[in-house]
C-alpha cells in the first residue's frame, strides 16, 4: 500500500521532519518498506496559458504561443509579446486553455524512475518550428497511462507561471507500506485511519473528518441515519441477505448521473491522489469510488442501474446477496468468466449474479457511455469467504485486499453518502441494511496491569490521553479504566490488546531492557550426543550434510523402500519432494552421486536428523512417532577392497568413543525400511549388550547402488540415535598396572567374532584379562582356512602356556 505524506498532512498536523516521521511510523505503527521521494519529480514544470494555437498544415501538430507568466528559463526566448513557442501534437490543444508545460531542461516525470530519465530539450520540429519544452499529457506527468491528449488545468485553481507542484501539492514523499504487517488492522488501509494512528504516535488528538462521525444528511433532505441497527431505512430498493455472516451490512443508493464514463475535464486532485496511491484514474464515477476507498478503507462499487433491473427482470431493484451455487458462472469486468465455488459471495439482481462480492463487478452491469442511473454499493463481507475467493480465482484488487482484512461495518453509510456528494449526483433511492447489531466493545484494564506487562511506569493521565487520541473513550473508574473501543477497531477484545496499544503508541523503544535472574539450564542429552558425534566425525574426515526431509517416491523405491510407508505431502512443490523420508541413507546416496559427479573421489557423508514412518504409528499426543537417526554413506570412485569394513570402522569409532559395547550380527533379510538399501550378505545388524538394535552397517544392494549410479566402493550405516543415547556407557576402565604384549595368529575357518569369543573364553578360564586388537587376516589362495592375527595386551605378566593354548585354537 502506498501512502502520500502530503495526503496524510490534510488530516494530521505533522511537526517533525520527514525522516523522524518515517522512523517513528516504522517503530510504532507499521513496517515501511521504502520511501519514494518525489520532492523534485515535478521541478521546472509550470502552468501556462495557450494564447495562440495554429495548425501546422499537413501535420497533426499545432504551433502554440504560451504565456508562462514570470517564469524565466535560461536559453528560452520569449517573443515580443512575452510568449514562448511550443509545438504540440495533441488534438485537444486550443487557445485560452491552461496547460502544463515541461520546460527545457526538466525531466519528464513518468521517466524519473527509469534508468535513463528523459530530459526535455529545445528543438526544431519539421526543420523550422522551434519548440521549447512540451505541453504535457497526464501520462507524461505520471498520473495515468493514457496517451491521448494534454492535461488541462482549471483556471479557478491556477494561473500562468504557477508551478504544477505547488498547485497540486506534488512535492511529496510516498511511503511504501508492507501490507502483511497490517493484516489485523483494516482501519489502517485508508488514509484517514492511517492519519489517526500517526496523530496517536505523535501524541496528538485526532480530529475525525465530519463526514465520518456526524449524522450524515443526504443532499436534498434525503434520509438521516440512525446508527443503532439492525435497521433498514425504507425505500423501494429491496435488499435481501440470505446469511448475515457473509454480509453484515449492505448500503445501496440509486443515483441519476450524466456522462457516466466521462473523465474530469481538468486535472483533478482526486486523479492525482489516486495515481500517487498506485492506482489509475478511469472516469469521474470510478475515480470517486476509488478515492473514497483509499481515503476511508471502505470499498465501493457502481453498477449500471438500468442493466441491473433488466438482468433481474423486475421494475424495481431487488439486491439479493447469497453464496454461490455449484457450477454457477459469471463474466467479470476484466472479461474473464469464472466458475464459482460455494463459498463465493454473489451480489445478484433478483437472483441473477451481477458481481463477485468484494472482488469484482460483473460484465452484465458494467457502466458505459449510455448509463443514466447507477446503483452504488457500500457493503462489508465475510473476510473468510473472500479470502477463499481471492485464492481460488486469483483476484488481487485493491478492494479485495481491504475486504480480506475485515472491513468494519461502521463505515458503509457515511462513505456512501460522501460518494454521492463527491459525484454531485442526485440520489433517487437509498437503503441501508444491517444484519448484525452494532456492538460496542468495552474492555476493562488496570493501569498497574499495563505497566506490569510492559515493564514501564506510565502515568494514568498519559495512558488515558494516549488512548483518547486515537478514538478510544475512557471512563476512569477509580481502580480500573473502562475503555470503549471505537467501531473501526475490530481487533480489540481483551485487556492485552489495550496494553499493546499503549505500549505501541508510546513507543516500545522507550521500554528499558532489564534482565531477570536466571536459573540453571538442564542439559539436553540428545543435543549433547549430536554435538559429540559431529566433533568425532569431523576428526574422522567425514562431512556433515543437511538434506531435505522430503524425497521423491522414485528415490525411495530406488533405495528399496515402499513409498506407502511414507507420509505423503499433498501440496508438495514438486514430485521430488512428495514423501516424508523414512531413513537418512537414501538422501545421502543421492548426494553421493552428486558429489561423485563433481567429481570428488573419496568422501564420507553423514547427517543426523528426524525421520518418520507410517508403520511406527502415532505417539500419545496423536502425532507420528519420530526417530532421530544418523545416516552415513562413504564412496570412492576408484576405491578397491571391501567398503563394508571402512563403514564399520566409522561406526565402531563412534560406539567405542561413547563406550558402547556392540556386536555385529550377520543381517538376515531384514524387512525394516531402514535396512532396505543394505545388502544382507554384506551388512551387519549392530546390537548393544542387551540385544537392543543400534543400527545397520553395510554395503548396498547392487540394484540400489546401480540405480543411484554410484561406483562400486560404497558402504554406509544408519544408526538409531535414540537407542544409542540409552546405551551410552559410563566411565571407561583405566588400567595402569603391569602389561605384557603378545601377537597371536590362529588358523580358522570360522568368523572373526567366533575366534574372539574362543580367545576370551580361554582367557577367562585362566583368569587372565587382555585387550584384543586385530592385525591382519591372511588366506592363501584356494585355501578354506584363514590365518587371523591379533594383538593381545595382557593386564598382567603371563606364562607361555597360555600363548600355547591360544595358538591351538582354530
Partner 1 sequence: MTEIESLKQELKKVNAEYAGIRNVPAEERAEFGRKINAKKQEILAKIVATEKKMLDTQVEPIDVTAFCAPNESIPEVYSQEYGSRHPLATEIDRVCEIYQMMGFDVVESRQLDDEYHMFDSLNFAKEHPARDGYDTFRTEEGLIPPAHTSTMQHRVLKEYRDKLAQGKNIAVVVPGRVYRNEDVDATHEHTFYQCEGVYVSRECNMGQMLGILREFFEKYYEQKLEIRTQPGYFPFTEPSLEFMIEKPKSLGGKKGDFLEMLGCGMIHPNVLKMAGIDPAEYHGFAWGGGMDRLVMLKYGLSDVRAFESGNLSFLRNFR
Among 37, 154, 448, 754, binds partner 1 (CB under 8 A): 754
The correct pick among 79, 236, 572, 761 for binding partner 1 (CB under 8 A) is 572
Site for partner 1 contains 342 (CB under 8 A): no
Q: Which of 77, 79, 183, 243 binds partner 1 (CB under 8 A)?
A: 183
Contact status: 184 vs partner 1 (CB under 8 A): yes
Which grid coordinates are listed for 748?
Answer: 580358522
Q: Which of 192, 185, 193 is nearest to 383 (CA)?
A: 185
Smallest distance from partner 1 to CB 220, Å:
42
CB nearer partner 1, residue 85 or residue 582: 582
CB 555 within 8 A of CB 561: no
DSSP 299: -
Residue appearing with cell numbers 443503532: 228
Residue from 489, 648, 676, 727 that binds partner 1 (CB under 8 A)? 648
Residue 671 interacts with partner 1 (CB under 8 A)? no
Nearest distance from C-beta of residue 479 to partner 1, angstroms:
15
Stretch that binds partner 1, among 65-73, 178-186, 238-246, 269-277 (CB under 8 A): 178-186
User: Which of 119, 262, 473, 665 forms a contact with partner 1 (CB under 8 A)?
Assistant: 665
> Among 717, 710, 726, which residue's Cα sits nearest to residue 695?
717
> What's the gap between Cα 762 and its chain centre?
70
Rounded to whole angstroms, how far apart are CA atoms 230 and 575? 53
Q: Give the separation between CA 323 and CA 385, rounded to whole angstroms.
A: 9
Write down the residue that cell numbers 511529496 correspond to. Answer: 172
CB-hemisphere CA count at 13 Å for 388? 13
CA gap 374, 429 in Å, rounded: 11
The verdict on 547 binding partner 1 (CB under 8 A) reads: yes
Positions 474 through 513 that interact with partner 1 (CB under 8 A): 494, 496-497, 499-500, 503-504, 508-509, 511-513
Distance CA 276, CA 242 (A): 39
Please report whether residue 196 would count as binding partner 1 according to CB under 8 A. no
Question: Which residues 16-55 are close enough to bind partner 1 by CB under 8 A?
Answer: 26-31
Roughly what angle, to the nearest 10 degrees, separates helices 191-201 and 18-28?
100
User: Residue 741 — left, alpha, or beta (φ > 0 → left; ψ -120 to 50 → alpha)?
Assistant: beta
Residue 347, phi then psi, degrees to nearest 5: -90, 125
Among positions 604, 673, 674, 694, the unique one binding partner 1 when judged by CB under 8 A: 604
Considering beta carbons, is residue 473 or 569 the nearer one to partner 1? 569
Q: What is the Cα–Cα distance from 200 to 185, expressed in whole angstroms?
A: 15
Residue 108 or 545: the one with the smaller Cβ distance to partner 1 is 545
Q: Which C-beta is closer to partner 1: that of 316 or that of 642?
A: 642
Q: Contact with partner 1 (CB under 8 A): which of 155, 261, 484, 543?
A: 543
Q: Which is nearer to partner 1, 26 or 89 (CB)?
A: 26
Please report the DSSP string for 10-67 in residue order: TTS---S-HHHHHHHHHHHT--EEEEEE-TTTTTTEEEEEEEEEEEPTTSS-EEEEEE
Residue 508 cell numbers, joined: 516500545
> Whole-angstrom Cα distance, residue 329 to residue 336?
10
What is the rounded distance in angstroms from the CA atom of residue 772 to the CA atom of residue 776? 12
- C-beta of 185 vs 284, nearer to partner 1: 185
Residue 57 or 523 having the CB closest to partner 1: 523
- Please, which residue, 240 or 496, has the CB nearer to partner 1? 496
**Contact range with partner 1 by CB under 8 A, out of 34-42, 175-183, 359-367, 476-484:** 175-183
Q: Which 267-326 positions form the footprint of partner 1 (CB under 8 A)?
A: none
Residue 188's alpha-carbon distances to 296, 320, 484, in angstroms, are 9, 30, 19
CB of 133 to partner 1, least distance (A): 40
Using the minimum distance from each CB to partner 1, give the nearer residue, 219 or 455.
455
Q: How far is Cα 417 from Cα 424, in angstroms, rounded to an integer?
A: 11
In the complex, minimum distance from the CB of residue 544 to partner 1, in angstroms, rounded to a whole number: 4
- Residues numbered 784 to 803 that lie near partner 1 (CB under 8 A) are 786, 788
Report 705-724 residues binding partner 1 (CB under 8 A): 706
Q: Does 188 bind partner 1 (CB under 8 A)?
A: no
Residue 137 has, within 13 A of its CA and on its CB side, a CA count of 15
Q: Choose among 385, 377, 185: nearest CA to 293.
A: 377
Residue 699: CB minimum distance to partner 1, A: 8
Q: For partner 1, which stretch binds (CB under 8 A), given 177-185, 271-279, 289-297, 438-446?
A: 177-185
- Residue from the set 117, 437, 461, 774 that interacts with partner 1 by CB under 8 A: 774
Q: Which of 594, 692, 764, 771 binds partner 1 (CB under 8 A)?
A: 594
Nearest distance, CB of residue 473 and partner 1, angstroms = 21
Q: Which of 116, 394, 514, 671 binds partner 1 (CB under 8 A)?
A: 514
Q: Which positions from 608 through 647 interact with partner 1, judged by CB under 8 A? A: 609-610, 612, 621-624, 626, 641-642, 644-646
Q: What is the DSSP letter of 119?
A: B
Closest separation in Å from C-beta 500 to partner 1: 3
Q: How far is the CB of 56 from partner 1 (least distance, A)?
A: 54
- Asked if 360 contacts 344 with a C-beta cutoff of 8 angstroms, the reply is no
Residues 255/374, Cβ–Cβ less than 8 Å: yes
Kind and range of the H or E element at 634?
A: strand 626-636
Q: Which of 774, 782, 778 is nearest to 747 (CA)?
A: 778
Binding region for partner 1 (CB under 8 A) out of 76-84, 223-231, 408-416, 674-682:
674-682
The residue from 37, 40, 778, 805 that contacts partner 1 (CB under 8 A) is 778
- Binding residues for partner 1 restricted to 549-568, rule: CB under 8 A: 549-550, 567-568
Contact of 174 with 36, CB cutoff 8 Å:
yes
Could you give the CA distance from residue 54 to residue 61 in angstroms, rounded to a whole number?
A: 9
User: Per-residue contact track with partner 1, 372 to 401, x per CB under 8 A?
Assistant: -----------xx--x---x----------
Closest separation in Å from C-beta 174 to partner 1:
20
The position carrying cell 476484466 is: 334
**148 versus 626: smaller Cβ distance to partner 1:** 626
Residues 13, 9: Cα–Cα separation, whole Å? 6
Site membership for partner 1, residue 752 (CB under 8 A)? yes
The CA distance from 2 to 33, in Å, is 10
Instruction: Identify which of residues 31 and 334 has a Cβ nearer to partner 1 in the complex.
Output: 31
Please return the burial class of 677, using the count of CB atoms within 10 Å of its CB with bins 0-12, 13-18 and 19+.
Answer: buried
Residues 114-173 close enough to bind partner 1 by CB under 8 A: none
Question: In this complex, which beta carbon is closest to partner 1, that of residue 276 or of residue 648?
Answer: 648
**Minimum CB–partner distance for residue 530 and partner 1 (Å):** 8
Q: Name which position in 667, 710, 770, 802 contacts partner 1 (CB under 8 A).
A: 667
Nearest to 18 by CA among 139, 134, 173, 157: 173
User: At closest approach, how far in Å is the CB of 96 from partner 1?
Assistant: 53
615: left (phi over 0), alpha (psi -120 to 50) or beta: alpha
Closest approach of Cβ 714 to partner 1, in Å?
Answer: 13
Binding residue for partner 1, selected from 542, 585, 651, 721, defined by CB under 8 A: 542
Count, residues near partner 1 per rule CB under 8 A = 127
Amino acid at each position: 500500500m502506498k501512502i502520500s505524506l502530503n495526503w496524510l498532512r490534510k488530516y494530521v498536523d505533522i511537526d517533525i521532519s520527514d525522516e523522524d516521521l518515517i522512523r517513528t511510523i516504522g517503530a510504532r505503527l507499521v513496517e515501511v518498506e521504502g520511501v519514494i521521494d518525489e520532492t523534485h519529480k515535478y521541478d521546472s514544470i509550470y502552468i501556462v496559458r495557450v494564447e495562440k494555437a495554429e495548425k501546422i498544415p499537413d501535420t497533426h501538430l499545432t504551433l502554440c504561443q504560451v504565456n508562462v507568466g514570470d517564469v524565466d528559463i535560461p536559453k528560452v526566448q520569449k517573443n515580443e509579446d512575452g510568449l514562448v513557442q511550443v509545438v504540440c501534437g495533441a488534438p485537444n490543444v486550443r487557445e485560452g486553455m491552461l496547460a502544463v508545460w515541461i520546460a527545457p531542461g526538466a525531466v519528464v516525470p513518468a521517466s524519473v524512475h527509469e534508468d535513463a530519465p528523459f530530459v526535455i530539450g529545445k528543438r526544431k520540429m519539421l526543420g523550422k518550428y522551434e519548440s521549447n519544452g512540451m505541453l504535457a499529457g497526464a501520462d507524461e506527468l505520471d498520473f495515468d497511462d493514457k496517451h491521448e491528449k494534454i492535461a488541462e488545468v482549471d483556471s479557478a485553481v491556477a494561473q500562468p507561471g504557477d508551478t504544477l507542484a505547488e498547485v497540486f501539492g506534488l512535492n511529496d514523499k510516498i511511503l511504501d507500506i508492507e501490507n502483511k504487517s497490517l493484516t489485523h488492522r483494516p482501519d489502517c488501509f485508508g488514509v484517514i485511519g492511517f492519519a489517526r494512528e500517526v496523530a496517536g504516535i505523535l501524541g496528538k488528538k485526532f480530529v475525525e473528518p465530519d463526514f465520518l462521525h456526524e449524522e450524515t444528511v443526504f443532499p436534498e433532505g434525503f434520509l438521516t441515519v440512525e446508527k443503532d441497527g439492525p435497521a433498514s431505512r425504507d425505500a423501494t430498493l429491496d435488499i435481501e441477505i440470505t446469511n448475515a455472516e457473509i454480509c453484515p451490512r449492505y448500503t445501496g443508493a440509486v443515483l441519476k448521473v450524466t456522462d457516466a464514463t466521462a473523465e474530469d475535464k481538468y486535472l483533478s486532485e482526486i486523479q492525482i491522489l489516486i495515481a500517487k496511491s498506485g492506482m489509475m484514474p478511469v472516469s469521474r464515477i470510478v475515480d470517486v469510488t476509488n478515492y473514497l476507498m483509499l481515503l476511508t478503507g471502505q470499498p465501493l462499487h457502481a453498477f449500471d442501474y438500468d442493466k441491473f433491473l433488466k438482468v433481474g427482470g423486475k421494475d424495481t431493484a431487488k439486491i439479493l446477496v447469497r453464496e454461490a451455487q455449484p457450477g454457477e458462472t459469471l463474466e467479470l469486468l476484466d472479461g474473464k468468466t469464472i466458475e464459482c465455488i460455494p463459498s463465493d459471495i454473489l451480489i445478484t439482481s433478483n437472483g441473477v449474479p451481477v458481481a463477485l462480492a468484494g472482488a469484482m463487478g460483473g460484465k452484465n452491469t458494467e457502466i458505459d457511455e449510455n448509463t443514466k442511473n447507477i446503483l452504488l454499493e457500500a457493503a462489508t463481507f465475510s473476510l473468510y469467504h473472500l479470502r477463499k475467493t481471492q485464492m481460488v480465482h486469483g483476484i488481487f484488487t485493491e478492494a479485495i485486499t481491504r475486504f480480506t482484512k475485515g472491513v468494519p461495518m461502521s463505515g458503509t453509510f457515511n462513505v456512501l453518502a460522501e460518494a454521492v456528494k463527491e459525484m454531485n449526483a442526485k440520489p433517487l433511492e437509498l437503503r441501508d441494511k444491517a444484519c448484525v447489531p452494532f456492538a460496542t466493545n468495552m474492555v476493562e484494564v488496570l493501569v498497574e496491569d499495563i505497566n506490569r506487562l510492559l515493564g514501564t511506569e506510565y502515568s494514568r493521565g498519559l495512558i488515558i490521553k494516549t488512548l483518547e487520541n486515537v478514538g478510544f473513550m475512557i471512563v476512569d473508574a477509580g481502580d480500573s479504566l473502562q475503555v470503549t473501543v471505537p467501531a473501526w477497531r475490530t481487533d480489540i477484545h481483551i485487556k492485552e490488546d489495550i496494553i499493546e496499544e499503549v505500549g505501541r503508541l508510546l513507543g516500545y523503544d522507550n521500554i528499558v531492557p532489564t534482565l531477570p535472574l536466571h536459573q540453571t539450564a538442564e542439559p539436553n542429552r540428545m543435543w549433547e550426543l549430536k554435538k559429540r558425534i559431529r566433533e568425532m566425525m569431523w576428526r574422522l574426515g567425514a562431512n556433515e550434510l543437511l538434506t531435505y526431509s522430503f524425497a521423491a517416491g522414485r528415490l525411495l523405491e530406488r533405495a528399496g523402500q515402499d513409498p506407502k510407508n511414507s507420509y505423503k505431502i499433498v501440496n508438495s512443490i514438486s514430485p521430488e519432494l512428495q514423501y516424508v523420508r523414512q531413513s537418512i541413507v537414501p538422501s545421502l546416496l543421492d548426494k553421493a552421486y552428486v558429489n561423485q559427479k563433481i567429481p570428488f573421489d573419496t568422501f564420507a557423508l553423514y547427517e543426523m536428523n528426524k525421520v518418520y514412518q507410517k508403520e511406527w504409528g502415532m505417539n500419545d499426543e496423536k502425532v507420528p512417532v519420530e526417530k532421530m537417526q544418523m545416516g552415513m554413506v562413504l564412496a570412492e570412485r576408484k576405491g578397491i577392497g571391501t567398503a563394508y569394513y571402512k563403514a564399520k570402522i566409522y561406526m565402531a569409532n563412534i560406539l567405542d568413543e561413547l563406550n558402547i559395547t556392540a556386536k555385529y550380527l550377520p543381517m538376515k533379510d531384514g524387512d525394516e525400511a531402514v535396512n532396505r538399501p543394505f545388502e544382507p550378505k554384506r551388512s551387519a545388524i549392530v546390537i548393544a549388550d542387551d540385544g537392543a538394535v543400534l543400527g545397520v552397517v553395510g554395503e548396498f544392494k547392487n540394484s540400489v547402488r546401480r540405480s543411484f549410479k554410484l561406483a562400486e566402493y560404497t558402504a554406509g550405516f544408519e544408526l538409531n540415535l535414540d537407542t544409542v543415547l540409552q546405551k551410552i556407557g559410563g566411565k571407561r576402565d583405566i588400567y595402569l598396572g603391569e602389561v605384557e604384549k603378545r601377537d597371536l595368529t590362529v588358523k580358522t575357518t570360522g568368523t572373526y567374532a567366533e575366534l574372539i569369543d574362543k580367545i576370551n573364553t580361554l582367557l577367562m578360564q585362566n583368569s587372565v584379562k587382555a585387550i584384543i586388537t586385530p592385525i591382519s587376516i591372511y588366506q592363501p589362495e584356494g585355501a578354506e582356512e584363514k590365518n587371523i592375527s591379533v594383538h593381545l595386551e595382557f593386564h598382567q605378566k603371563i606364562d607361555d602356556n597360555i600363548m600355547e593354548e591360544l595358538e591351538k585354537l582354530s
